[in-house]
Amino acid sequence: MQAASRLMGIFFLLGLVSVVIADEPAKPSANSLDSAAMAELMAKLGAPGKPHEHLQAMVGKYKTISNWIVPGENEESVDEGTAEFKSILGGRFVTQQFKSTYNGEPMEGFGILGYDNAEQKFVGIWIDNMSTHILHTEGKLDDKTGVMTETGTCSSPIGTMNFKMTTVPTDDGFVFTLSQVTGDTETEMGKIKYVKQ
């Protein structure tokens, strides 16, 4: 008798789950849209908007001052350099070409930053001559302060590394801060002051 009651309870729960699943609204799929609706949706998702205007404000040439914390040492590497941001693909993305030094060695990097309308977030990649990995980033912009906060991950010999980046606007450019994230702990690695020329 107890087995029958349990079996009836299981069937009842399965029935409830089926009703809940059936009541969930279905997301439109590519197959459910006609070609005109699909074209309209793609045009909307592909059009630059207000977040892209924020990126366009970064376009230009900059003088940079980098303050990097040298790992294992109680000192900073202070280096001057240059950066140039260019608009590409109709204002949908900006590229950054960065040249400086780190601890006396030449450093060069290249980044692409954009805003994904479908995902509703900023997305980017960064590569440089200090490693062979690609840093993938995503983030949000605070419309009131203009501060962009991104998180990023990349592979390394010790496993996946997590980072947090903030870009804070100034009167003559912006300040970029890079921190490594381990669990709940953020360790600042350095910052770069960008001064527009």
Tens digits of residue pLDDT in 62-108: 999 999 987 667 778 899 999 999 999 999 999 999 999 988 899 99
Give the global pTM: 0.78
Give the integer Cα–Cα distance in Å for 64 and 98. Answer: 9
pLDDT at 144 over 90: yes
pLDDT of residue 27: 53
CATH superfamily, domain at 50-196 = Calycin beta-barrel core domain (2.40.128.20)
**Where along the chain do its domains lie?**
2-46, 50-196
pLDDT at 14 over 60: no
Residue given tokens 């059009």 in the structure block? 47
Tell me how many degrees the CA angle 7-12-13 measures, rounded to the nearest 5: 100
Average pLDDT over residues 149-167: 89
Residue given tokens 């606007």 in the structure block? 169
pLDDT at 55 over 90: yes
Question: From the CA atom positions of the chain, what is the Rg in Å?
Answer: 24
